[in-house]
Amino acid sequence: MNTILDTIIQQVETMDTPFLSIIIPAFNEAGRLPSTLEQVGHFLSTRRFTYEILVVENGSSDDTLHIAKSMVGKIKNLRVMHEDIRGKGWAVRQGMLAAKGEYRFICDADLSMPIEDVLRFIPPQLPNVPIAIASREAPGAVRYDEPEYRHRIGRAFNFLVRILLLKGLNDTQCGFKCFRADAAKKIFPLVTIQGWTFDVEALFIGRKLGYEIHEVPIHWYYKAQSRVKVLRDSFQMGLDLIKIRLNHISGKYHAQTKDH
pLDDT digits (tens, 9 = 90+) for 50-77: 999 999 999 999 999 999 999 999 999 9
Largest interatomic CA distance in the chain: 50
φ and ψ of 4, to 5 deg: -60, -45
**Domain range holding 156?**
2-257
**Residues 161-212 pLDDT 10s:** 999 999 999 999 999 999 999 999 999 999 999 999 999 999 999 999 999 9
- Measured distance CA(125)–CA(216) in Å, rounded: 11
Distance in angstroms (rounded) separating the CA atoms of residues 5 and 176: 22
What does pTM read for this prediction? 0.90
CATH number for the domain harbouring residue 98: 3.90.550.10
CA torsion sign for 220, 223, 227, 231 is positive
Q: pLDDT-derived band of residue 260, with 50, 70 and 90 as boundaries?
A: very low
Domain count for the chain: 1
In angstroms, rounded to a whole number, what is the distance separating the alpha carbons of residues 27 and 94?
A: 14
